[in-house]
Amino acid sequence: MIWRSVDLRRTALRTLLQLQLNMAASTFCPVLLPLSRINCKLNGIYTLISLNKTAAYSTGLSVKKTGAKTGLPQRGGKELRRQIKQVLQPRTERMAVDQDWTAVYPTAASFKADAVPLPVRMGYPVKKGVPPSKKGNLELLKIPNFLHLTPNAIKKQCEALKPFCTEWPAALDSDEKCEKHFPIQVQKKDYVFAGPSLRHPDARIVTLTVKLSSLNLDDHARKKMIKLSGERYNKDTDTLTITADSCPLKQQNHDYAMYMLTVLYHESWKIEAWEKEKTRADMEEYVWEDSPSQKNILETLLRIRPLSEQQEEGEVREELLGREEVQEYKDSVTKLKNEGETEGNMQQYKEAVKKLLSI
């Protein structure tokens, strides 16, 4: 009587497992359903019923057909003892060298000393000893392991992901082309972290960078734009950076940054009435026309060659200004004032003065 009921139970279990195996094979997921650990109390001994005589665990997605009926473990026989011994051994003893590791660790799982056939040791060594072995080692359990992400596993998973990727357009192969076609750059940040809330306060920040050379600005508009931007303009790289973080949402900050750029642009093109009163002190760079330097040089040259009565002062001025040496002198002074004093600039100034005064 006892045997028959056990037999019925075993067949029922076996059919259930077959169904499970079939399901696992049919769904396109890398996660294997845990199979085959069926505990059954048999004759007062807890045994693991195996579907096939050789292995207690299934390997890979292959469906092993259980053709022959597994024989009942003999009462107290060699067979039973052999099976128990096999099952109580760690799984590593039964692993083949060329097995599919992705089946052993398909997903992230904690370190199992009996499933990893590596002689790993971890922890602080005992006095005059070695680090503790992997059996029952808490340090190995605590640290995240990448056993489910071996190169093979990564390759397989990336192969499966490839159909969802798209190619970069071939026309935009260089940085210059990208800059030419897309001069405005917007930088946004996203965060992945563990915490009580999903939101990160810095995720709303949006930074907009644009080169002023790519905007449609004339001389006056450019200077006004630089003055309006203030600290946000970088002279060395000619970039304007607008950081928007006052709104709670990223999209709002993005819109605000775009709006700021538009406003700056349009305001810089406008010419206000009070802009006429711009003095020499407000100028961004040194301009030689109408400067004391020009007046001085003209006076000096006029004194060298005094005016004759026929010539007009205005005409002489024009003629003097048109001379090559004067132009050179003008360039050297402008360079000195705008770029500061360097060896080259000073040399140039010296040469220009020597030529002008014919020394």
Partner 1 sequence: MCWIIFFFKLITVIEEPDTLFQTLTVLVKGHDKAVLDSYEFLASMAAKELGLTLAKVSEPPKNIERLTLLKSVHIFKKHRVQYEMRTHFRCIEISKVTGSTAQVYLEYIQRNLPEGMAMEVTKTPFIYMRSFSNSDVSVFHMLKPDSV
Binding site for partner 1 (CB under 8 A): 26-28, 108, 143-144, 146, 149, 151, 154-155, 157-159, 161-169, 172, 178, 180-194, 214-216, 251, 254-255, 258-259, 261-262, 265
| Residue 166 C-alpha from the chain's centroid | 18
Q: Least distance to partner 1 from the beta carbon of 168, Å?
A: 5
For residue 221, give every residue at least 6 positions away whose Cβ sits within 8 Å of its Cβ, in sequence order, or none: 265, 268, 269
User: Rounded CA gap, 150 and 231, in Å?
Assistant: 49
Comparison of 97 and 192: residue with beta carbon closer to partner 1 = 192
Residue 208 β-bridge partners: 186, 242
Nearer to partner 1, 176 or 289 (CB): 176
The tokens for 266 are: 């349009």
CB of 245 to partner 1, least distance (A): 15
Contact 70, 94 (CB under 8 A): no
Q: Which is nearer to partner 1, 25 or 357 (CB)?
A: 25
- In the complex, minimum distance from the CB of residue 185 to partner 1, in angstroms, rounded to a whole number: 5
Please report how close the Cβ of residue 202 comes to partner 1 at its closest, in angstroms: 9
* Helix pair angle (313-322, 324-339), 10° resolution: 70
Shortest gap between Cβ of 226 and partner 1 (angstroms)? 15
Q: Please say which residue, 51 or 240, places its beta carbon nearer to partner 1.
A: 240
Q: Where are the alpha helices (DSSP H) in 89-131?
A: 101-104
Dump the DSSP string for 324-354.
HHHHHHHHHHHHHHHH---HHHHHHHHHHHH
For partner 1, the closer of residues 95 and 149 by Cβ is: 149
Q: Residue 149 or 320: which CB sits closer to partner 1?
A: 149
DSSP string, 19-77: HHHHHHHHS--SPPPP----EEEETTEEEE--SSSS-SS--TT------SPPPPPPTTS
How far is it, in rounded angstroms, from Cα 129 to Cα 151? Answer: 34
Q: Which is nearer to partner 1, 190 or 290 (CB)?
A: 190
Minimum CB separation of residue 64 from partner 1 in Å reads 20
Q: How far is the CB of 267 from partner 1 (least distance, A)?
A: 12
Neighbours of 250 (CB within 10 A): 17
Task: Tell me how far apart the terminal alpha carbons of the chain are, to the nearest angstrom.
Answer: 130
